[in-house]
Amino acid sequence: MSIGRCVWILLLLAVWVRGEDKCDAQEVGEWICPDLFLLGSELSGIMYITEVLARSLGDQIRLPDEGVRGETCGGRLRCEYGTQYFSWHHQKGLAWYKESYGTRNSTEEVGLEVNPQYLAIPSVPFRMQSELLPSRLRFIVAFRNPVARAHAAYRSSIISIGSSSSRIHEAYLAFDFKFSLIARTVGDYVMGCIHLLSHPQHVYRMCAHESKIDQYRNYHASVPETEKAITDFQLIARPFTSGLYGYIMIRWFEYFEPEQFCPLMYENLLDDFEAEIMNLEPCLEAFGATLRKDHYAEVDIIPDPEDCAGCQYFEQLTEDEMAEVGEQLNQKIFGASNDILSELMEANYKRDDIGKWS
């Protein structure tokens, strides 16, 4: 066999393998995969942002058939519409993901995945860069005061506790269901992890609840106040490590350019939804869509209640007690992360409001 023929065979094999490992075609009739991701963070107005996307993109949206969950908003679009392919279902393979979306019917279609859990999983950006068309991708990220978000997640978990045999019941039982104990324990543990690392770039890979070394699954110390062993520490830590936004965004910026992101702030959505939601425009314009007033005029965002009426296990903290918990969390883990986020937002988006939580 001639050298030239061997070269052609190798080139054909390379193209074939690349086609199996990537979903980056834009031609009609080829597989369509997401171009636009609403990444999170969780409990930061995702439902309301999704509704605006549904109205502004309209029939351009292509959604996956797999993994549909959440309440309907914006007509046929779900408020939480994710496959978890780039996180927990990656072992199903790219062919499964492609089939979830099907083939492209027009060049104007925009594949969309709404998955607020993707943001805080360190392996996700690498997988997206490797398997999709990186230059085409756009990401919407909503940030929220990490202390308030962790407390909202705690409240949501307490509401969901329904039986003494549930996984979440057992995990919270070790802390006597108290947010203050959980915050102190997780804060101390994550602070210890961060202090072991010499560069911020390494923090989220090693200290996330889905970390590279998976240390949270193997942590079974006892809580001194209850003398009970900790179980499912990964589940307990997740609401806190998911708020390490500065370290998280350092990780994402390793794989994608800052101009591919549209950052929003939850507190601004509450104060002036119309003004803050306009920060979506660059991500919509990338796909030829525009944001009109009728897309967001009737969207009413409702803040989370601060208490948990009727919740059997909810720890009732006074305003001063909650402030003390927040101060400790900021000193231990969130303060430095917020500073990094603030610098990134100001340098890349000229936003001097995001990350300035106290």
Helices 335-349, 245-253: axis angle to 10 degrees equals: 50
pTM: 0.91
Task: Please report which confidence band the pLDDT of residue 160 belongs to, taking 50, 70 and 90 as the band edges.
Answer: confident
Mean pLDDT of 262-289: 97
The pLDDT of residue 241: 97
3-class state of residue 140 by DSSP = strand
Instruction: For residue 294, give every residue at least 6 positions away whose Cβ sits within 8 Å of its Cβ, in sequence order, or none.
Output: 55
Task: Please report which confidence band the pLDDT of residue 163 belongs to, taking 50, 70 and 90 as the band edges.
Answer: low
Query: What percentage of the chain has pLDDT greater than the value 70?
Result: 89
The pLDDT of residue 5: 52
Predicted confidence (pLDDT) per residue in 296-343, tens digit:
998 889 898 878 888 889 999 999 999 999 999 999 999 999 999 999
Task: Please report which confidence band the pLDDT of residue 348 belongs to, taking 50, 70 and 90 as the band edges.
Answer: very high
Task: Please report which confidence band the pLDDT of residue 164 belongs to, taking 50, 70 and 90 as the band edges.
Answer: low
The pLDDT of residue 140: 98
Q: Any bridge partners for residue 223, and if so which?
A: 228
Question: pLDDT higher for 8 or 258?
Answer: 258
Nearest to 137 by CA among 296, 269, 252: 252
Buried-exposed string 131-169: b where 16+ CB fall within 10 A, e elsewhere: bbeeebbbbbbbbbbbbbbbbbbbbebbeebeeeeeebb
Predicted confidence (pLDDT) per residue in 96-122, tens digit:
999 989 999 999 999 999 999 999 999
Task: Please report which confidence band the pLDDT of residue 2 belongs to, taking 50, 70 and 90 as the band edges.
Answer: low
The pLDDT of residue 274: 96
Task: Please report which confidence band the pLDDT of residue 213 belongs to, taking 50, 70 and 90 as the band edges.
Answer: confident
Cβ atoms within 10 Å of 18's Cβ, excluding its own: 10
Does 238 carry a binding-site annotation? no
Task: Please report which confidence band the pLDDT of residue 3 belongs to, taking 50, 70 and 90 as the band edges.
Answer: low
Round to whole Å and give the CA distance between 271 and 357. 15
How far CA 346 is from CA of 30, 145, 255, 268, in Å, comes to: 39, 17, 20, 16
pLDDT tops 70 at residue 248: yes
Nearest to 328 by CA among 120, 147, 193, 144: 147
The pLDDT of residue 300: 85
At 43, give phi and psi (nearest 5°).
60, 35
- Identify the helix (H) or strand (E) that includes residue 50: helix 46-57
Of the segments 170-179, 208-217, 296-305, which one has the largest average pLDDT value?
A: 170-179
3-class state of residue 235 by DSSP = helix
Give the HSE-up count for residue 264: Cα atoms under 13 Å, Cβ half-sphere: 34
pLDDT tops 80 at residue 18: no
The pLDDT of residue 73: 46
Predicted confidence (pLDDT) per residue in 214-238, tens digit:
789 889 999 999 999 999 999 999 9
